[in-house]
Amino acid sequence: MNIDKVRELDHRFLFQNYGRQDICFDHGEREFLYDLSGRRFLDLVAGIAVNSLGYSHPAIVRAVCEQAGRLMHVSNLYLIKEQAEAAEALASIAPPPLEASMFCNSGAEANEAALKLAVKATGRGRVVSTRNSFHGRTSMTLSATGQPKYQSGFEPLLPRAFDFIDYGSVEQLKAAVTRDTAAIICEPIQGEGGIIAAGEEFFRTARDLCDERGALFIVDEVQTGMGRTGRWFGFQHYNVVPDIVTLAKALGNGFPIGACLTSRDIAATFKPGMHGTTFGGNPLACTVARTVIETMRREKLVERSAELGDRWAQELRSLSMHGGKITDVRGKGLMIGLEMGEEAKRFQEAALKASILVNVCGGHVIRMVPPLIVSEASVKELNDVLRSFLGA
């Protein structure tokens, strides 16, 4: 099938709710995608921080094929061996007391579960969230998202349940958290908001306020988790441990799975029937998640994310001194943002012409969240295109 036929079927049979680029990929390998004509693209977006092991990783392909031939789905009415194994693997990479998991199918579902759990556990109804955040597109997670552009046209949401503060503002955080607050929810680094880090003081204050006022601290690690920032979890950069952590994206390396991770005491709040999902934690998804964790450990990809990310950021800062088009280079590990103002869209287009995929977030920031297995040669390929764009 050629791209003209794909385009025709897309417009005829699919909702037009995505602003798709006119490219159709046929297959992928490592950090590369190949379109229907065979053109190779260097993917520095990784499905938006999803394919951390790259495309067609042998361990993932093998795990999917073997598990699919044995058992893909069974109801949560029964014990599920693969689910228990995945939960054990998650607990092994998380700091105590985060050792109880509930699996779902996406980051939005994981955040929905976390918010419901916090409200149920505390008996309170208000949640503190941050402006420019992104937590999902369900009614509750969209209500928790601090970006009106995602909410417009879907009101009424749940506005009375959420109190929004500026991301990173310690003073606003102190004023917002009261005895009526069930939880604080935030990202260690805002991804959709423009690769902006909260900072250790903000996270430590959030932890202290929750302890003082009986609220729960929820950290959304959907984009930052699983080694993306050079640690297993982004919150580990800030020397705190939250009450609830949510994961998705890279947890399945492209296979749909999300998780809500907390202590056994908090998890006990949910009794049978209070929350659930038909497909969440199915044997196939959980086998993939366990294999992702095992592979990342074996290949030392968390350490690689930290080391390569630091070196790449230094190289980008050196390049940013030329041309005045880059005003900031920020992020952690292999979650890198280039503040470029109006030049961001232009560079995205220039990169695409050079067969490199990057994307713009926060309106004016080039986001690079490549597979953690990205090669030094691929990093140089991006740097060369950027150097040419800057006239360096």
What pLDDT, in 10s, does the model give residues 317-333? 999 998 899 999 999 99
Count CA atoms within 13 Å of residue 72 on its CB side: 6
pLDDT attached to residue 323: 85
Each residue's pLDDT tens digit, 21-34: 999 999 999 999 99
Q: Considering the chain, what percentage of its residues have pLDDT values greater than 70?
A: 95
Each residue's pLDDT tens digit, 248-305: 999 999 999 999 999 999 999 999 988 999 999 999 999 999 999 999 999 999 999 9
Residue 304 near residue 333, CB atoms below 8 Å: no
> What CA–CA distances, in Å, run from 386 to 115, 156, 368, 378, 391?
41, 44, 13, 13, 8
71-298 topology per CATH: Aspartate Aminotransferase; domain 2 (3.40.640)
pLDDT attached to residue 154: 57
Euclidean distance between CA atoms 229 and 52, whole angstroms: 12
* Closest to 74 in 3D by CA, of 278, 272, 288: 278
Euclidean distance between CA atoms 335 and 371, whole angstroms: 10
More confident residue, 161 or 183: 183
Domain at 3-57+300-390: CATH architecture = Alpha-Beta Complex (3.90)
Domains of the chain: which residue ranges?
3-57+300-390, 71-298
Euclidean distance between CA atoms 251 and 237, whole angstroms: 19
Rounded to 5 degrees, what are φ and ψ at 137? -125, 10
Each residue's pLDDT tens digit, 79-138: 999 999 999 999 999 999 999 999 999 999 999 999 999 999 999 989 999 999 989 877
> What amino acid occupies position 80?
I
pLDDT at 140 over 80: no
**How many Å separate Cα 388 from the centre of its chain?**
30
Q: Do domains 3-57+300-390 and 71-298 have the same CATH topology?
A: no
Q: Considering the chain, what percentage of its residues have pLDDT values greater than 90?
A: 91
Each residue's pLDDT tens digit, 297-317: 999 999 999 999 999 999 999
